[in-house]
Every structure is written in C-alpha cells, then in structure tokens.
Structure 1
Amino acid sequence: IPFNSPTAVQMAQEHVDRDYAVLDGLTPRRLNNTAKAEMDRLFFPRCAKVGSEALMEFMQHLQDINHFRIDVNGVDRRTSRTLNAMRQEEMAAYIYNMDEGSVYIEHTNWIDFNAYNLPKPIFINMVRDPVERMISWYYYIRNSYRNAIFYRKNPLAPIKPTAWFKKSFNDCVRSGDQECQYIPLTVKDAVPNFKRQSIFFCGHEPDCLPFNSPLAVQIAKRRVETEFAVVGTWEETNITLAVLEHYIPRYFARATMIYKIYQDSIINRNRNNRKPHVDADVRAMVRRNFTHEYDFYYFCKQRLYMQYIALKRTELERYSHL
C-alpha cells in the first residue's frame, strides 16, 4: 500500500482509534484484583532471585505504619517445586487462621484456596528478566558467605571442589555443563536452579512442571490476570511502588514516600556486587531456551504498565475537573 494513500491513512486511523479504545477501557477498577480477595490476608508466594527479600525488608518498614504483621514461619522452610494437595491445604488453612491484616511469605507456588473451601487472600509477586535470574542464581549459590552458613548447619555435607566455585557462568554455558543446560520441556532437573519463573504463578499441577512450556506459561498468565493484585519488578521500581500503593493501600499506603527513606539498604539486600561479567553471546545462547518464559515475563510487565497507565489517567482526569 503506497505511503500516504487514502487506504494507508484509513488503516493508520483505525489503528489509532483501536489504541484509544483500549486506553479508554483502562481503569484501576477493571485492573484491580484486590477486590476479589475474600479475606484480609496478603499471600506473597515469592519467586526465587527476583528481589523478593528486598520487598520483604521494605514491608517490614511498612508494617507498623499500616498496621499489619508479617509471618516469617514460612521463610525458612525447605523449598519444594510443587506441593501435594494435603500440603497445599495445610498452607491455605494456616493462612486462613492467621489474624486479619497478616502477610504470609514463602518460596512456593500459587494455591487455589477455593478448592479447599477457603476464602482466597490478596496475591502479589515479583518478576525479573529470566536470564538475569539464572545468572544471579548461579553466582548466589557460589557466594562464600552463603556457603559458610550452609556448611556450619550441615557439617557432614560434601564440600564442592574449588573448580566449581571458580567456574564462570560463561565457561559453564560454553562447556555444556549440566548445571547450565536449560532444556525446554524437561521436567526432571539435573541440577536444581529455579529456572521456571512461571511455575510460581501456574501452581502445583503436573502441567506446570515442564520447563519453558507454552501451556504452563498460558496457565500462569491466566493466574496473573485473574488472581494476582499486583506483579511488580524492581526493574521498574517507581512504577511498582505506585501500583502497589494505589491498588493495595491496606498494606502499601505511603509506600513511595517510605521507600525513599530506606532505599539504600533495600537495594543492597541480598545483592551480589561481585557478579562477574557475562558475555553477550552467552546471554543470547541461554535466552534462546527461555522463549516462553520471556513471553510470560513481558506479559507481567505489560500488565504492570497498564495498571500504572490506568492510575495516571484517572489522576489526570481528576485534575482536569478541578
């Protein structure tokens, strides 16, 4: 179609009209799942290596201001990829029996409370670039401080060889080491590494286990769309804080103001400042096996942006009527 022809102009106008129609439909009320919660509890089934400890620390600063309490009993439990129905029901019942205005945080997956005849809480979570998560995990488990604590608690555990500690992520990927092979649709992992970000949203069903599975990712997307009040990211700190503050004020009122006071300590929480450089070709090699995981990651960020845009549109409309 020739540029600037009547047909091209008409098509462009149709695209603009459609985009405006989408924006007109963006309202905080339509995009806020907080109202769907059936009890005053906040459940944070936190993903690994997304900065969840930073959010935990930040919430500790907010709890006295907003009159809620964080339950830390789940933080130190042994992590399982999935829970059977009995353990899911036990966790759901535990959260149900907590006091109103309580926050439960644990490395686990989304749970269907209604399946156990229990009211559902407010769900939140965080996401991060999938390859960055893997690089972070790789060097996190090699952290000397972490390993000193581990071997103090487990003195009989076999000690890893020096070569394992010194091996770079670049060399691990290029050499085809099992630890750095991320094979799509695999269920059993040669080395545990939390590569499935989507599983924390998908749930505990067998369909959620295959890595980089399009089905698992579609289920996870549906959970985010219908169950989670906010899924944020530290990659967009200001947007995440604004959305949390306005969509879940019961727990995050004044979040943007309070964050500025404690920003430095929160940013450095569990952060590895000695993480070596990872070459671009290595990142590209790994990224090719995370296609659907990236689809999920971008979906979560798009939803976060939509929630933020809806919020700002409402503010602008309110100011225009003053």
Structure 2
Amino acid sequence: MKLLESTGQMSMLDPMVLNNTRKAQVETIFFNRVPKVGSQTLMELMRRLSIRNNFGFHQDQVQRVETVRLSPEDQAILAALVSSYDPPGVYIKHVCFTNVSKFGLPEPIYINLVRDPVERVISWYYYVRAPWYYVERKIAFPDIPLPDPKWLKKDFEQCVLSNDRECRYVTGEVREGIGDHRRQSMFFCGHHPECLPFNTEGALERAKNAVERNYAVVGVLEDLNTTLTVLENYVPRFFKEEISRYNPINKNIFKPIVSEEVKNIVRKNFTKEIEFYEFCKQRLHKQYLALKLPESIT
C-alpha cells in the first residue's frame, strides 16, 4: 500500500470525518453490489457474520431480467423494502445507488466494492459465457432459450481486435436495458439520465459524489485485506471479529488469460472508469491510514 508521504498529511486524517456510518439513521446495511467485483465473497461473509453477530440477512431473489436502473416509482418501492426489515440487518441487491432518505425514510449504511475496471469487464464477458451460468439460469427459468454456440465461443481478445460491436467501448454511447455491464461507476452514479452515457465526466462526478457523501465503505477487490480491516473498524456492529484474512470465492476457471496488449486497447476507452476506481482506492487507503494501526504507520 502507498502510504501518505508526510506525518502532517497523516495527522489530518480523521476516522470520524471519513466514516459516513455516523450519518446512518438506522442499523441497516444496503449493499447494492456491483457484479464481478468480489461481491459474492463479501455477501457470503456477511451471511456467516449475521449468525455470529446477530443481525438479519436479506438478499434479492434471482430475477428473470435484472434491471439495475429504476423508475422513480420503483426506487420508492425499493427504498420502502430496504426500510421494512427490522434492524440490525443487511439488504443485498444488484441495483444502482438508491438514496433511501430521498423518500423520507431513515438513511441506511451504504457499502459496496469495486475492481480494476478492465479486469472486471473481462470477468463479466466470460462469466455470462460460463457453462454453469446457463445451467443455473435454466434451473431457475426453464423456458429461457440457450444462446448461440458461436456467441458462447467468442474470444474476448478477438472480439476487441476485430472491433466487434460487443467489445467496442465508445465515449458517450448509451446502452439501455440489460447487457450494459461495462461500468461499475453506474452503480454509484444512480438512476439519473446523466449516468447513462459511457465514460463521461458527468457520470463520473455523480458517482464520486455519491461515494463521498453516502458510502460508509467502498472496498477494493485487489486490496481485500485492507477492505475487510476498514469494514471491521468503520462498521463494527456488523463486521466485529477478525475478518482480515477471509479468502475470496467464486473464481471462473473458464476465463482465459487476456494479453496486456488487448487490455491496453480497452484501457484507452475506460479513462473515466479508471479514474473512478483510483478515486475509490485512494479513499479506502485514507480510511485505513486514519485508523493509525501499527502496521499502517510504520
């Protein structure tokens, strides 16, 4: 971890200022989890902790068509659902940031995770092509047709190099509905139309503002131990115990290695996503350093 360069900078770090848990009006965690960032690992950890630390565990059911952007009416319904569970408890759902207090309901504790955006988009590409993914979908929804075998076998590198429609990441492009899983920042930006265009300054700033103002912790998959330490210290009601060595789960053995050359091609079109990721990573490190744990100040 890169530490702050001066003790003067370090002395300015205050856990109270950096912790939005203090703003919560109810002991309810709202984990609007981003796909393919290690959220399954954190969800399973919370499930286990719910027994040990005595809090309710609630997650959204598998959806036939998962919609992450909601109309104002559906946002109000979701906010009411989050608020309907007896505290302490957690509610978990793949959905864009939904400001519960906007609907006159108590402010929950927001948490989430992020991941290197290019690694994440590659992970998503192969996740939706993994055999077990369609087995699970068929069991849940038997009438769903299987995809074209040619699509299943399509390689990410070739997809990028051939300028395939699926692997073009064009600034300002809007993809409504399902299938637009290019951006993790969208899960923080929210439901506003400005969040729709890909890789734009407006969407980036909305996402940053939501993290800064609303989220207690936004963890980083590549820095999982730091993430868990921060969660344990900033949201202790739910994460109180030694969790900093919890092992990741849900690895996709069907995901091949993608060359750095191809990753660099994709990175050129992910500038705002990369900036958002670095912003979240820096914030997490500030929260960690503010704890002034022995290993963080030596």
Encode CA deviations 1:112-163: one digit per residue, 9 max, x unaligned: 2222111110000000000011110111011011112323444444433322
Tell me, in whole angstroms, the C-alpha distance in 1 between the residues paired with 2:138 and 2:55.
Answer: 35
Report the more deviating stretch, 59-68 or 124-133: 59-68
Unpaired runs of 5+ in structure 1? 1-15, 318-322
The equivalent of 1:286 in structure 2 is 266
Which of these residues, 73, 76, 80, is aligned with residue 62 of structure 2?
76
Tell me, in whole angstroms, the C-alpha distance in 1 between the residues paired with 2:54 and 2:25.
Answer: 19
Which of these residues, 167, 178, 187, is aligned with residue 154 of structure 2?
167
Q: Secondary structure at the match of 1:48?
A: coil
Tell me, in whole angstroms, the C-alpha distance in 1 between the residues paired with 2:80 and 2:86.
Answer: 12
Q: Secondary structure at the match of 1:256?
A: coil
- For the 8 Å contact 1:182–1:286, the answer to whether it is kept is yes
Q: Aligned pair 1:182/2:162, yes or no?
A: no
C-alpha deviation, 1:244, in angstroms: 0.2
Which of these residues, 312, 316, 319, is aligned with residue 292 of structure 2?
312
The equivalent of 1:249 in structure 2 is 236
Question: Please, what TM-score do these two structures have when normalized by structure 1?
Answer: 0.85
Question: Please, what TM-score do these two structures have when normalized by structure 2?
Answer: 0.92
Tell me, in whole angstroms, the C-alpha distance in 2 between the residues paired with 1:132 and 1:116.
Answer: 36
Q: Secondary structure at the match of 2:66?
A: coil
Rate the CA distance shift 1:84–1:189 in 2: closer, same or farther, 3 A.
Answer: closer
Q: Secondary structure at the match of 1:126?
A: strand
Code of the residue aligned with 2:105 in structure 1: it is L
Rate the CA distance shift 1:173–1:21 in 2: closer, same or farther, 3 A.
Answer: same
Encode CA deviations 1:7-50: one digit per residue, 9 max, x unaligned: xxxxxxxxx7xx54432210111111000001111000011110
The equivalent of 1:127 in structure 2 is 114
The equivalent of 1:194 in structure 2 is 181
Q: Aligned pair 1:92/2:79, yes or no?
A: yes
Which protein has the larger Cα radius of gyration, Structure 1 or Structure 2? 1
- For the 8 Å contact 2:67–2:177, the answer to whether it is kept is no
Identity %: 43
Which of these residues, 236, 255, 258, is aligned with residue 275 of structure 1?
255
Q: Aligned pair 1:207/2:187, yes or no?
A: no
Between Structure 1 and Structure 2, the one with more helix by share is 1
Tell me, in whole angstroms, the C-alpha distance in 2 between the residues paired with 1:312 and 1:161.
Answer: 54
- For the 8 Å contact 1:69–1:103, the answer to whether it is kept is yes
- For the 8 Å contact 1:135–1:169, the answer to whether it is kept is yes
Q: Secondary structure at the match of 2:292?
A: helix
Tell me, in whole angstroms, the C-alpha distance in 1 between the residues paired with 2:294 and 2:19.
Answer: 14
- For the 8 Å contact 2:111–2:218, the answer to whether it is kept is yes
Q: Secondary structure at the match of 1:231?
A: strand
Code of the residue aligned with 1:81 in structure 2: it is V
User: What is the aligned length?
Assistant: 293
Rate the CA distance shift 1:256–1:116 in 2: closer, same or farther, 3 A.
Answer: same
* Superposed structure 1 runs of 4+ greater than 6 Å apart: 314-317
Code of the residue aligned with 2:128 in structure 1: it is I
Tell me, in whole angstroms, the C-alpha distance in 2 between the residues paired with 1:28 and 1:190.
Answer: 39
C-alpha deviation, 1:316, in angstroms: 8.4
The equivalent of 1:13 in structure 2 is none
Code of the residue aligned with 1:277 in structure 2: it is I
Q: Secondary structure at the match of 2:87?
A: coil
Unpaired runs of 5+ in structure 2? none
Report the more deviating stretch, 109-118 or 43-52: 109-118
Tell me, in whole angstroms, the C-alpha distance in 2 between the residues paired with 1:183 and 1:35.
Answer: 39
Encode CA deviations 1:70-126: one digit per residue, 9 max, x unaligned: 112x14234213101111111111111210111000000111222211111000000
- For the 8 Å contact 1:75–1:105, the answer to whether it is kept is no
C-alpha deviation, 1:274, in angstroms: 3.0
